[in-house]
Structure 1
Amino acid sequence: MDRNTTEFGLQIISLIVCIAASYLDGGLAAVFNVTGFGAIGDGIHDDTEAFSQAWEAACSNGGGSSSVIVPAGRTFLLSPVNFEGPCYSSNVHFQVLGKIVAPNETDAWKGCVSNSWLHFSDIPGLVLEGSGVIDGRGSPWWKNVSLGILKNALHIHKCDGLQLRGLHHVNSPKSHISINKCNGVSISGLNILAPENSPNTDGIDVSESTHVLISDSIIQTGDDCVAINSGSSDIQMTNVSCGPGHGISVGSLGANGSYATVEQVNVTKCNFQGTQNGIRIKTWPGGSGYARNISFEDITLQDVENPIIIDQFYCKGEFKCEDKPSPSAVQVSHVTYQGVNGSSSSEKAIQLFCSESKGCTDIKMQQINITSAIPRAKTYAICKNAYGESSSTSPLVPCLTQLHDDVLGREASAVWV
């Protein structure tokens, strides 16, 4: 047998192995290991083509489930790549056990779809999981913002029934995970990490999505741990640890005069350590729409600069929005804070800055206890056009007034305690 024949035989065996059927999650699934399609995994050679071929094979596999395997013990360099459906498989698992890294050179990011590195779209039932690492190698972007629009590491679009679990996401140029137009999403067991001074490195961004559960995750970044953006409803967050970072945010909403909506957001049993913000709602002046039926319950704070904040004058610090009155604003209403406890690194524990054109209505605060992290310092609440009720709060929040026709539009005074 000559050498060519032997090599051909080995290639055939390798291909058979990589598509061999095995039992996963109790059902028959075809398995496609990226190494069987030529991925080297030395962190130097570009393995994008091998990943694309493995994906194509898994996605086109008719009937049952398919699984793409990224094996442990190797580092796979990928250029920006699209994993697209719809697939013939009933659902597709993408299991990351090794490490996937982005290019070190920013020029290699050209041609990104949706300004992202790893892009999954139109794949109902997608399961993206594993104990491996997705490393966006974002430092070249952070150091030089003149390079252009920052890129998201992972963007998932129109993947209903998405399950995202167990992975380590690190050092994205911009947002680590972006979820858009997905319904029935479960995100759990993630570790997301970037330096505190890395700009715009949100942990998880959700937009135009419904029925989303984010749970049991640790997020330490340079921006929002989680941001809920327009078009989203029925968003549940529980047992999320945030810090450092900019807290958990609804918004920003209403930029450039846009119409924006968010509703039915419930944040429970989350903790914040050393964050710039704790629980925040942020809207731009001049926008329209609503942010409503939002609750924050059983929240723990440790050394948080702005523990509770509603900011209807958000503008990324580009100018003082309060100096530019606007006739419209996103309506903020029916917001509940209950069982919020811990310490603030500043004296302003509660800040409710609402637009004169709309105000914030039906705000409820119960069982709040935020003390100063600074010895012998006190905390206070400050409000502007905020209406609702409070009980059992420290600091006291008398500036949160009842809404009456004769007081609508007036500014409630700041209160020191």
Structure 2
Amino acid sequence: MKVLFLIFVIAAPSLCATECSAFDDVVSFDVVSYGATGSGQADDTQAFVKAWKDVCGATQKSAKFVIPQNKIFMLQPLSLKGPCNPATIEVQLEGTVIAPKSIGDWKFLNEERKWIEFSDISGIVIEGGGVIDGQGAAWWNSDDVSMKPTALHLHNCKDGILRSIHHMNSPRNHISVDMCSGLEISHVNITAPMESPNTDGIDISGSSNVFIHSSTIQTGDDCIAINSGSSFVNISDIFCGPGHGISVGSLGRNGDDARVENVHVRNCTFLGSSNGVRLKTWRGGQGYARKIIFEDITVVGVKRPVIIDQNYFGLLDEKKSAVKISEVSYRNVKGTTSGERAVELSCDPNVGCNDIVLDHISITKEDGGESKASCTGAQGTCFLCNPIVSCLSNLHLV
């Protein structure tokens, strides 16, 4: 018996070096221990799948999925699913993960075009200072947007954290948040060339209690887009540009019943983006976008800084219905525009936009000239606005 005990004591440290940190409530699984090479050439997908199986099935309160530094892991489309046993799962992304470089080399799991997906997981934390590189250049010239894959998809995740990563060059949108609640995203750096189409930074749909802050997003499309089914979304301290700004929508495509409410965007800076802060809804849509606040916004050389577009595409004969826009405030928006119009409010003639408030707007042209505003179908007030917004009640004009 003493001999057996001695053997166990000697063997235990080597086991813990691979799978556990101690005899406690935390256990770690390193993908290299499951056969991942980290060469940047070999397919390491199955090593990630095997490691995730043990992470998700661990009996400890907390489990770590370790992607070590100084290595590059090439991955095919990968679905890492829960529910999992540990209350907290920490994905330590310290190295670099890359997608296949050529379109023909991709091996999709099904018709859904996703590269890396985390789904049905509570208490997930993704962090570590590593890199996610979608190597999307080969996809950007494709005209069929539906065929382009999303790089990182978070589906039905609760009480999660995504922070301190660099995400670059997705074939399509970089991060998709779908049917999640209690999610915080911070200190992420998302980059793609200005001319890369459809490369949204973060897309949110069907989600609530989402907090995004302290991040830099520079892509070829929306820095952040808030889509139907989303509520209680708080966005702050974002640097956006190049890109298409921070958008609510588009909403109501193909007559959809879209609903977005309780969105707060504050203390954000836009540099050289095509848009600043905007709402966009399709003609013929239904539902509502309401209780939305944009405040403490700085725009520098932004082509269209403030936008409500209730006529975003759609057929002309569909204009009898529209997504209802109400209780929208733009407060303390200042800076310069590279375009002619600093403020554009284009509301449906039948449904209109109600309870619109512009408060302390000061936007001039880059060359120092006066900017303009266009306004149709909107009802509300404009307090200390430059430029003057004609269809609103202007108070104390500058």
Q: Deviations over 1:36-75 (max 9, x none)?
A: 1010000000000001111111110013100001000000
Change (3 A) 1:136 1:14: farther
Q: Percent identity between the aligned chains? A: 45
Quote how far apart the aligned CAs of 1:111 are.
2.7
Return the offset for 1:227: 0.2
Which residue of 2 is the match for residue 20 of structure 1? 20
Instruction: Give the match for residue 33 of structure 1.
Output: 30
The 1-side partners of 2:236 and 2:111 are apart by 31
Pick aligned residue for 1:305 from 303, 306, 314:
303
Q: How far did residue 332 of structure 1 move?
A: 0.3
How far residue 148 of structure 1 moved from its aligned partner, in angstroms, is 5.7
Which of 81, 86, 97 is the matching residue for 1:84?
81
Which residue number in structure 2 is paired with residue 380 of structure 1?
Answer: 372
State the match for 1:42 in structure 2.
Answer: 39
How far apart are 1:20 and its partner, in Å?
A: 1.9
- 1:112-151 counterparts in 2 under 5 A? 112=110, 114-146=112-144, 149-151=147-149
Deviation by residue 1:215-272 (Cα, 9 ceiling, x = unmatched) = 0000000000000000000000010000000000000000000000000000000000
State how far apart, in whole Å, the 1-side matches of 2:77 and 2:109 are. Answer: 8
Question: In structure 1, how many angstroms separate the alpha carbons of the residues matched to 2:391 and 2:311?
Answer: 18
Contact 2:221 / 2:243 at 8 angstroms: preserved in 1? yes
1:105 CA displacement: 2.2
Q: How does 1:147-166 map to 2 (within 5 A)?
A: 149-166=147-164
Structure 2 SS opposite 1:350: strand
Q: Does 2:382 match 1:390? A: yes
Is contact 2:326-2:354 (8 Å) kept?
yes
1:142 shift after superposition: 0.3
- Contact 2:27 2:60 (C-alpha < 8 Å) held by counterparts: no
Give the alignment partner of residue 224 of structure 1, picking from 222, 225, 229: 222
Q: 1:207 is matched with which residue?
A: 205
* Whole-angstrom CA distance in 1 between matches of 2:243 and 2:249: 15
Q: Do the aligned partners of 2:167 and 2:191 also contact (CA within 8 Å) in 1?
A: yes
Q: Which residue of 1 aligns with 2:319?
A: 326
How many residue pairs match? The answer is: 384
CA shift for structure 1 position 324: 4.5
Instruction: Assess if the C-alpha contact under 8 Å between 2:283 and 2:316 holds in 1.
Output: no
Deviation, structure 1 residue 397: 1.5
Tell me the SS of whatever aligns to 2:198. coil
Residue 362 (structure 2) aligns with: 369
- Which shows bigger deviation, 102-111 or 171-180? 102-111
In the TM superposition, residue 381 of structure 1 has moved relative to its aligned partner by: 1.0
Structure 2: distance between partners of 1:300 and 1:63: 47
Instruction: Give 2:29's aligned amino acid.
Output: F
Q: Which residue of 2 aligns with 1:3?
A: none
The answer to whether the 8 Å contact 1:313/1:322 transfers is: no
> Which residue of the other structure, out of 342, 349, 357, is the alignment partner of 2:350?
357
Describe how 1:281-320 pairs up with structure 2 within 5 A: 281-315=279-313
Paired position in structure 2 for 1:175: 173
The match for 1:56 among 37, 50, 53 is: 53
Q: Which residue of 1 aligns with 2:265?
A: 267
Equivalent-residue separation in structure 1 for 2:388 and 2:152 (angstroms): 43
Letter in 2 for 1:17: A
Partner of 1:104: 101
Equivalent residue letter for 1:295: I
* Code of the aligned partner of 1:386: A
Q: For the structure 1 residues 175 and 112, does the alpha-carbon distance in structure 2 shift closer, same or farther, using more than 3 Å as the test?
A: farther
User: Residues 208 and 146 (structure 1 numbering): CA distance in 2 closer, same or farther, change over 3 Å?
Assistant: closer
Q: Deviations over 1:302-337 (max 9, x none)?
A: 00000000011112xxxxx58545110000000011
Q: Distance in 1 between matches of 2:317 and 2:332?
A: 35
Normalising by the residue count of structure 1, what TM-score does the alignment of the two structures yield? 0.89
Maintained 8 Å contact 1:386/1:401: no
- Matched letter for residue 228 of structure 1: I
SS at match of 1:50: helix
**1:248 is matched with which residue?**
246
Counterpart check, 1:94 vs 2:91: yes
Q: Kindly indicate whether residue 70 of structure 2 is the aligned counterpart of residue 67 of structure 1.
A: no
Contact 1:15–1:36 (8 Å) recurs in 2: no
1:18 partner letter = T
Q: Which amino acid aligns with 1:328?
A: S
1:401-412 aligned within 5 A: 401=393
Q: How big is the alpha-carbon RMSD for the aligned residues of Structure 1 and Structure 2?
A: 1.9
2:338 maps to which of 328, 345, 354 = 345
Take 1:253 and 1:291, find their aligned partners in 2: how far apart are those partners?
9
Query: What amino acid sits opposite 1:101 in the alignment?
Result: I
Distance (Å, rounded) in 2 between the aligned partners of 1:238 and 1:43? 35
Cα distance in 1 for residues equivalent to 2:93 and 2:212? 20
**Which 5+ residue runs of structure 2 have no aligned equivalent?**
1-10
Amino acid at match of 2:201: G
How much has 1:149 moved relative to structure 2?
Answer: 1.4
SS in 2 for 1:328: coil
Preserved CA contact (<8 Å) 2:374 2:390: no
Contact 2:358 2:383 in 1 (8 A): yes
Consecutive unaligned residues in structure 1, runs of 5 or more: 1-10, 316-320, 403-416
